[in-house]
Amino acid sequence: MGRYVLRRLLQMIPVFIGATLLIFLMVNVMGDPIAGLCGDKQCDPATAAQLKREFGLDKPVWQQYLTYMGNVFTGDFGTAFNGQKVTELMATAFPVTIRLTIVAILFEIVIGITLGVITGLRRGRPVDTSVLLLTLVVISVPTFVTGLLLQLLLGVEWGWIKPSVSPDAEFGELIVPGLVLASVSLAYVTRLTRTSIAENRRSDYVRTATAKGLPRRRVVVRHLLRNSLIPVVTFIGTDIGALMGGAIVTERIFNIHGVGYQLYQGILRQNTQTVVGFVTVLVLVFLVANLLVDLLYAVLDPRIRYA
Amino acid sequence: MRGATHAKWAACTVAVALAATACGGGGGGNGGGGSGVLSSSWGDPQNPLEPANTNEVQGGKVLDMIFRGLKRYNPKTGAAEDMLAQSIDTSDSQNFKITIKKGWKFSNGEPVTAASFVNAWNYGASLKNNQKNAYFFGYIDGYDKVHPEDGGKQSADTLSGLKVVDDTTFTVKLTQKFSTFPDTLGYAAFAPLPKAFYDDHAGWIGKPVGNGPYQVQSYAKGSQMSLRAWDGYPGSDKAQNGGVDLKVYTDNNTAYTDLMAGNLDLVDDVPAAQLKNVKSDLGDRYLNTPAGIIQTLAFPYYDKNWNKSGSDKVRQGLSMAINRKQITDTIFQKTRTPATDWTSPVLGKEGGFDQSLCGAACSYDPGQAKKLVQQGGGLPGGQVKISYNADTGSHKEWVDAVCNSINNALGNDKACVGNPIGTFADFRNQITQKKMTGPFRAGWQMDYPLIQNFLQPLYYTNASSNDGKWSNKDFDKLVDQANRETDTAKAVGLFQDAEKVVRDNMAAIPLWYQNGSAGWSNRLSNVALNPFSVPVYNEIKVS
């Protein structure tokens, strides 16, 4: 097991370098960021040159990349154009997005798996059909439609929630945005769990457990669910990264100042430091989440542990 | 017993009511007018909040609240009026003696002196401070030393043209005659700065200190700035409300939704998608007035195709092929006004705005348009491509509409197409590198309400924002004359003569004037937009 973890950690290095290099090149291809800093006016050449020097933009790209990576390893992610340290931006943005992601993941786990188990055990019954239909609707409606509709109904028409989230972005405020963000994945989790449960329900070990006279609850939770969760865990694991990076639509609708917002601003202002910094951290989150998923397999299925 | 319970209830109600008013009074202790605090939509400023480094509206909004300079532009008329300036004297339009009023202070208690101005201007002009508005000090003697054009090492740290005489007096020497120079001093870049700015720069950026009617109570970058009325403000334009909470919105649609839900008091940018509903949603709590912004189509004069004999006819033809009224009505829902000259209505007649200056050349006349383009030798390469940045501002819609209009007028489906460029930075980049091959969108937001500001930076040979590199000796000569002229009315007349040169050559096609818009909740009254399309915050009353 220890060796397995070590190998996985080593694998992360090339992925990390490749991903950051790609992003670095992509942002660089978009042109000279200083040109956009002075609005519709032209920066005077002297100031522009000075700014370029300060941000290191006058050097060749490979050199910029090397300096940047060197700095990253000492914890220095550079400075955004508005004079703020990128680490400072991260310190304000990531906690918010992490809270939003936690809310979304909790919805996925609690509602998604519960619905999945219920429908999986009652395949073909009315409950199953109606949940299947519901998930189909959720999957087919784009997130921004759900988001805007909920915002309009709950926020403006009925006044149950505030349409926008305050800068503090406490858990309570994030429930509706979290639900919106989770909606599509939630539907997938339901469907995955349902299929998996339905499949494993007829397997030998479940029949044995039932024959042993174990209570139904124990059979379902300890035997059936534990084995059926493997595909679901894989999905949720990769979804963590996707939710954090892909929350941009939801964050825009509910005015949440998280990672998506900072990335959007960074791209609009073509701020290499912000974009690469945030993407670097997101890549790390993806990698760690994947590692955790692989480790969780072993917990769920002892056969994998010894393989 | 019953009576006692009643009394208790009454006491509680009073206590609650008192507490509620205290909360509404601006967090206690610092509510200038003693009235409530309003919340307003805001965008994250692009640059650090320094007066000489702020060149966009969002940062400018704050500077307008926490700073007062020598002059201030009247929020209604746009006229430059004395604020801190006691007098600005000159005999030759080149050397100015500026006396400031006594008794003004920064909100941290420091007095505002002549040195507060001189040091701030020196800081703004100095190349090593990377101030994006440094060029505002370009007329002051010694600018080439502190801000060498070629980006080389600066040979001085202070402008030789600025001299402190005593606590309330300083002199300014310009490199050339510039009669309207005093009127430019209302721009935020010329604001005074306290010592604290230099002593603890990072601290100041984190919580700016100025001398205006408001002071910054707290600033959470990227999310909210709380401003409160400053009791010690000595000016006559004291804040009529307890303060303003500026809230950063990622999307102006969300801000509008918040306004509808009663969660926000003021939106100063009504999203295009809501323009249809805004009348029924807000009634008379909606404002849509011209601002000092004009949109034009500029041409690359470095490209031979656009700089040969006859191409002025082509440009005139194109101008006449654009149905401005239809486009402003349908695409912009009347939030733009068809342009009739190269300035802006906010200048007023006396300031140089002329409703008939462009005349026939700016009115839709497809027949004449076709004739002129043919006379001019046709479109270069048979087609014009209008370049614009596709990332912000929804420029695609109007560019397509303009092209449609041109295509219809010229009777040619392929006469005009849009040429989107991915990002604003890349768009600007291609312009500065002179890579444009056809017309491109150009927007000009005035720095100060002067006709000079609409002409000189844009059309003077090698001027800072002359993106098309247009050059015309007659125009330059008239502008120089106008700058020398000490009589304001005559100067304006000369600038208008220069503008006629722009018209006769159709140096750029004027499209429309942009309006500022605002919507507000029924708690507010006396809401107005100034000529820069920024709400006049200090005059807003909160009930």
What pLDDT is recorded for position B2? 42
Domain boundaries, chain A: 1-74, 87-300
What are the tens digits of pLDDT across the range B142-163? 999 999 887 678 888 999 999 9
The residue among A164, A176, A259 with the most chain B CBs within 10 A of its CB, best to mutate, is: A164
Stretch 29-58 of chain B: residues touching chain A, C-beta under 8 Å: 44-48, 55-56
What pLDDT is recorded for position B378? 87
Given a contact cutoff of 8 angstroms between Cβ atoms, the answer to whether A76 and A82 are in contact is no
What are the tens digits of pLDDT across the range B326-335? 999 988 888 8
- Given a cut of 50, whether residue A77 has pLDDT beyond it is yes
| 3-state SS track over A151-217 | HHHHHHHCCCCCCCCCCCCCHHHHHHHHHHHHHHHHHHHHHHHHHHHHHHCCCHHHHHHHHCCCCHH
Interatomic CA distance for residues A42 and A57, integer angstroms: 18
Given a contact cutoff of 8 angstroms between Cβ atoms, the answer to whether B42 and B61 are in contact is yes
What pLDDT is recorded for position A26? 84
CA distance B46 to chain A (A): 5
- Given a cut of 60, whether residue B14 has pLDDT beyond it is no
* CATH no. for B291-515: 3.10.105.10
Mean pLDDT of B380-399: 87
Mean pLDDT of B446-463: 91
User: Between chains, do A46 and B249 touch, taking CB under 8 Å as contact?
Assistant: no
What are the tens digits of pLDDT across the range B253-288? 899 999 999 999 999 888 877 888 888 889 899 998
Mean pLDDT of B114-131: 93
Given a contact cutoff of 8 angstroms between Cβ atoms, the answer to whether B195 and B184 are in contact is no
- Given a cut of 50, whether residue B29 has pLDDT beyond it is no
What are the tens digits of pLDDT across the range B126-138? 998 989 888 889 8
Compute the mean pLDDT over every residue in chain B, rounded to the nearest whole number.
Answer: 88
What are the tens digits of pLDDT across the range A228-274? 888 888 898 888 888 887 788 888 889 898 898 888 888 888 888 88
Helices (H), B422-543: 424-432, 451-459, 473-484, 488-505
- Given a cut of 90, whether residue B365 has pLDDT beyond it is yes
C-alpha closest to that of B414 among B375, B382, B376: B382
User: Between chains, do B44 and A89 touch, taking CB under 8 Å as contact?
Assistant: no
Residue B464: pLDDT band by 50, 70, 90 thresholds? Answer: confident
Domain boundaries, chain B: 12-249+521-542, 291-515
CA distance A260 to chain B (A): 10
Tokens for B269? 């940018």
Q: Identify the weakest region by mean pLDDT among A39-48, B37-46, B118-127.
A: A39-48
Measured between CA atoms, the residue of chain A closest to residue B128 is A50
The residue among A27, A30, A44, A94 with the most chain B CBs within 10 A of its CB, best to mutate, is: A44
pTM of the predicted protein model: 0.84
What pLDDT is recorded for position A307? 52
Measured between CA atoms, the residue of chain B closest to residue A257 is B223
Tokens for B325? 């009224």
What are the tens digits of pLDDT across the range A190-215? 999 999 998 888 889 889 988 998 89
A52 vs B contacts (CB less than 8 Å)? none
Q: Across B128-265, where does the E strand assignment appear?
A: 162-166, 169-173, 214-220, 224-229, 243-248
B254 vs A contacts (CB less than 8 Å)? 151, 163-164, 252-255
Q: Running DSSP on this structure, what letter comes out for residue A148? A: H
Of all residues in chain B, the percent with pLDDT exceeding 90 is: 58
User: Between chains, do A40 and B445 touch, taking CB under 8 Å as contact?
Assistant: yes
What pLDDT is recorded for position B161? 94
- Given a cut of 60, whether residue B26 has pLDDT beyond it is no
The domain made up of A87-300 has a fold known as MetI-like fold (1.10.3720)
What pLDDT is recorded for position A15? 86
- Given a cut of 60, whether residue A100 has pLDDT beyond it is yes
Residue A293: pLDDT band by 50, 70, 90 thresholds? Answer: confident
* CATH no. for B12-249+521-542: 3.40.190.10
Is the Cβ of B144 closer than 8 Å to some Cβ of chain A? no
Of all residues in chain A, the percent with pLDDT exceeding 90 is: 18
- Given a cut of 80, whether residue B93 has pLDDT beyond it is yes
Measured between CA atoms, the residue of chain B closest to residue A151 is B257
Could you tell me which residues come within 8 angstroms of residue B286 by beta carbon, excluding any fewer than 6 positions away?
B270, B278, B279, B517, B518, B519
What pLDDT is recorded for position B23? 35
